[in-house]
Amino acid sequence: MADSPVAVTPQALQQFIVTGHCFAAIDIKRFRPVEEFEAAMDDMLQALNDTPRAERQARVYTAGEPEADAEAHRRVHSIPLAPALATQLHDIATSLGVAQLA
């Protein structure tokens, strides 16, 4: 939980404690109208995307975006395999008489 101790111990009382927080909302409509929440999230994501980029960086990523980009790329271009593994899979497919990887 954000670098905070999970319990107060005698040792923790002797040192500076970094305060951490963890919030989880399972049913948004119990807290606010869903449309309002979605609009607020859209605004937050837009603010993050409008953040100045670091030098030599094409964009600012938010949680899950690098993984989504990688998945989309791999669906089109396939999952990269190490050459040795590709050779092993080719040999196994040949020995079993099944189609090889494309």
Task: State how far the Cα of 1 lies from the Cα of 19, in Å rounded to an integer.
Answer: 9
pLDDT tens digits, residue range 55-93?
998 888 888 999 999 999 999 999 999 999 999 999 999
Give the count of alpha carbons within 13 A of 53, CB side only.
Answer: 8
Neighbouring C-beta atoms of residue 48, cutoff 10 Å: 13
pLDDT tens digits, residue range 12-65?
666 666 666 777 878 999 989 999 999 999 999 899 888 888 899 888 888 899
Structural domain boundaries in the chain:
31-52+60-96
Residues 6 or more apart in contact with residue 60 via CB below 8 angstroms = 48, 49, 51, 53
